[in-house]
Copies of this chain bind each other. A is one copy, B any other.
Amino acid sequence: MDTQTVLHYLQNLQSKIVEALELVDGKTFLHDSWNRNEGGGGTSCLLEGGNVFERAGVGFSHVLGNKLPPAATVAHPEAAGRSWEALGVSLVLHPRNPYIPTVHMNIRFFVAKAPAGSENDIASLPLQASQGGELENAQTAQKVRQAFANETNNGAAAKAAEDIWWFGGGMDLTPYYGFEEDCVHFHRTNKTALDPFSPAYYPKFKKQCDEYFYLKHRKEPRGIGGIFFDDFNELGFERSFELQRAVGDSFLNAYLPILQRRKDTPYTELKRDFQAYRRGRYVEFNLVYDRGTLFGLQSNGRTESILMSMPPIVKWRYDWKPEAGSAEAKLYSDFLIDKDWLA
């Protein structure tokens, strides 16, 4: 397990994506580095009022804490209260043209460290005692170590003494006006990135994405999905990290061809209006359900960096429904549905 290597990969990924998006937009991103009092920091890259992007945020963060808050530990209750490190690249792009979908990508690595007094620390006790020059101390330490090993050699206790780490991430697409070929391309790119690791991953991560990016109070998916994985460590560190890189490296391939295809489509103010209305769903999802957002706000994260995902202009209106047969109705009937895009 090598946190530094992950950190360098993520920083490079952020730079690569920002540079590619600047080429597309013609305007440059603001680079805003920040530190966190509790430890760590990050760099938020922002483009607002661009030619293509009305608001685009690509953030890198590396935050540390002494006591893991509950929101992060649903799958690992034994990690609650531990000191932790979280590294990630997270982006949300809100294009101006309503024919270009909004996209989200996130790649993260998480470590909850073995608590002090665990196997690793105990292992060094005899040496420390020997350095003290007293044989008895060394013997006592040996006994303590043995007793501790016995205790930790069964189940939860043993598990509690190890570092807990996992990768997580994914990407998902949120169109306002859908195009089947865009959905197919996005999903196909995701599948191609994952298949070398196991043909089981794409269907599994696709399903997890559909389940995660779902607005229960609307009974509506956020968009047309993509892939989502979390608590991923089953391939061991090296190969799990490779899978994460495969996902991160495929982002530009998954999104840019769609953006290029749609960015010069003419649109009316009515299409913009529907886009602003639909962006309300994005806000609702991120503030009510999104684990990353809630974790960030709970862990005293940097609010402006967490809320980079918010769209630039949003509208709410009461109980609005699209006209039957309209392009807006088609979004609901043909795209915001449970569908295998590669069937």
Residue positions of A touching B, CB distance < 8 A: 30, 32, 44, 46, 48, 55, 57, 216-218, 276, 280, 283-284, 287-288, 294, 297, 301, 303-304, 306-308, 310-319
Q: In the complex, which residue of chain B has the Cβ closest to the Cβ of A284?
A: B287
Shortest distance from the beta carbon of A275 to any chain B beta carbon, whole Å: 13
Task: Report if A318-B314 is in contact (Cβ < 8 Å); known contacts: A283-B287, A297-B217.
Answer: no
Pick the contact of A311: B297, B312, B316 (CB < 8 A): B316
Are A32's CB and B319's CB within 8 A? yes
Question: Inside 8 A of A311's CB, which chain B residues have their CB?
Answer: 316
The 21 sampled A-B contact pairs (Cβ below 8 Å) are: A32-B318, A46-B318, A48-B317, A48-B318, A55-B316, A55-B317, A55-B318, A57-B318, A217-B301, A217-B303, A280-B310, A283-B283, A284-B287, A284-B307, A287-B287, A288-B288, A288-B297, A307-B316, A310-B316, A312-B317, A314-B315
Point out the residue from B288, B312, B317 that lies within 8 Å of A316, measured CB to CB: B312
Given contacts A217-B297, A288-B288, A314-B314, 20 further A-B contacts (CB under 8 A): A32-B318, A32-B319, A46-B318, A48-B317, A48-B318, A55-B318, A216-B297, A276-B313, A280-B310, A283-B283, A284-B287, A287-B287, A287-B288, A288-B294, A288-B297, A308-B318, A312-B316, A312-B317, A313-B313, A314-B316
